[in-house]
Amino acid sequence: MTKNNVQRDIVIGITGASGAPYATRLLRCLLAAETRIHLIVTPLGRRLLLDELGIAEVTAEALVGEPNGLLTIYGYRDVGARIASGSFLTDGMIVCPCSSNTLGAIAAGTAGNLLDRAAAVTLKEARRLVLVTREMPMGRIDLLNALRLQEAGAVICPASPGFYMLPRSIDDLVDFVVGKILDLMHVPHELNTRWTDTSNTDSTGESDRGE
């Protein structure tokens, strides 16, 4: 069980937008929190994993380093899978990274594959849907799709790492984004993402750094 004594079920989608390290780090952190993961990888998501991480076959061993009974991988076209039904209870869904194509498909509600269908189900059941967009810049079509989804209840979470934690490596930047995603899903973690005010203040609470 998790630290909060709750077993979570979270659907994860991996699409073809650059950002494979975010996806695999997220999977590892969710498993560390004893989360049951229901994973969908799009065809371009598979190519992404190969191009960016050298993962040629999408298996639990390849993604997280070892077999894990908490990780179930579903077929992209299997719209009859249990996660395609609102009767299958989950704690929400994360698409990380989320491509513009997937953003548009979810916004349109086409549900032509398992990822899009699972996202539609997540929205209609009023569960949390987090879309980790990474495309930049974003054109008007993408922005309108993002707005439509936000108005429908989704959380748009761009993969925009902060620098106030003074990152020293790419892993630090990845952890910043993943920590934000985990916070949105209320999953406990120990990633270094918390802001601590280290500025000097006088007895009145005013900073001495100047305006």
Per-residue model confidence as pLDDT tens digits over 38-80 = 999 999 999 999 999 999 999 999 999 988 999 999 999 999 9
Residue 124 lies inside a defined structural domain of this protein: yes
| pLDDT > 80? residue 208 | no
Residue 200 lies inside a defined structural domain of this protein: no
Determine the pLDDT at residue 206.
53
Determine the pLDDT at residue 3.
44
Number of domains in the chain: 1
Partners of 97 in beta bridges: none
Full domain range(s) for residue 115: 9-184
pLDDT by residue (tens digit) across 75-84?
Answer: 999 999 999 9
Residue 204 lies inside a defined structural domain of this protein: no
* Whole-number average pLDDT of the chain: 92
Residue 175 lies inside a defined structural domain of this protein: yes
Of 170, 186, 178, the C-alpha closest to 29 is: 178
User: Which of 56-60, 95-99, 128-132, 190-194 comes out lowest in average pLDDT?
Assistant: 190-194
Higher pLDDT, 193 or 27: 27
Determine the pLDDT at residue 30.
97
Of all residues in the chain, what percent carry a pLDDT higher than 90?
A: 84
Q: Tokens in use for 208?
A: 């001495």
Contacts 24+ apart (CB under 8 A), 86-92: 86/121, 86/124, 86/125, 89/9, 90/9, 90/10, 90/11, 90/38, 90/122, 90/127, 91/8, 91/9, 91/10, 91/127, 91/128, 91/185, 92/10, 92/11, 92/122, 92/127, 92/128, 92/129, 92/130, 92/185
Determine the pLDDT at residue 2.
43
Residue 205 lies inside a defined structural domain of this protein: no
pLDDT by residue (tens digit) across 161-177?
Answer: 999 889 999 999 999 99
CATH number at residue 105: 3.40.50.1950
CA-to-CA dists, residue 150 to 23, 107, 123, angstroms: 22, 9, 10
Residue 194 lies inside a defined structural domain of this protein: no
Residue 1 lies inside a defined structural domain of this protein: no
| Amino acid, single-letter form, for residue 183 | D
